[in-house]
Amino acid sequence: MLIETDRLVIRDLHISDVEALARMWCDPEVTRFMGGPRDAAEVRRILAEDAGSASPPDMDLWPVQEQGSGQVVGHCGLLEKEVDGRAEVELVYVLDRMAWGRGYATEAAAAIQGYAREHLGLQRLIALIDPENRASERVALKVGMRLERETLRPGGKPMRVYAWQADEAENVKRKARNVKRKT
């Protein structure tokens, strides 16, 4: 896995990424809308195990590295989920607090969305978003997702399901091109 954007690199997990990612997943502010901070020892164990994998999976969470500094600033990717009895693929974007407000989440989400379509042939992605997480909703909208419905996750947590359909996105682009041609 290697995706480069103007400012970011999204790549396979290295053992050197474990501490930065564990710190992020244990930060109460970062994980506020995602069930709260994780157990640090467990996160480190899982990440170290994943970093040692000989063949990384096609769908996973990958470190997001800032091109200029080389610093790991997020953990983004694709996860298989069952939502309301339906198999889905969730587009996940989690950024370290120091990277908030720079547009990195949108840049990473758009890059992973392109990877999902071009390399995996996926035609649909979802994002499960806490109704209070306005920043995450803005990212979903910017990458062409639409609010599809509300759902309850295990434990009774209400979430909004934002969805992106490849055919819908193509129709929007086609309509925009037709409008430009007419003017």
pLDDT in tens, 38-56: 999 999 999 999 998 878 7
Out of 106-115, 136-145, 153-162, 163-172, which region has the weakest mean confidence (pLDDT)? 163-172
The CATH number of the domain holding residue 26 is 3.40.630.30
Number of domains making up the chain: 1
Burial class (CB in 10 A: 0-12, 13-18, 19+), 93: buried
Query: pTM of the prediction?
Result: 0.88
State the residue range of the domain holding 139. 2-182
Q: How confident is the model at residue 179 (pLDDT cuts 50, 70, 90)?
A: very low
Contacts of 130 (CB under 8 A, 6+ apart): 33, 34, 136, 157, 158, 159, 160
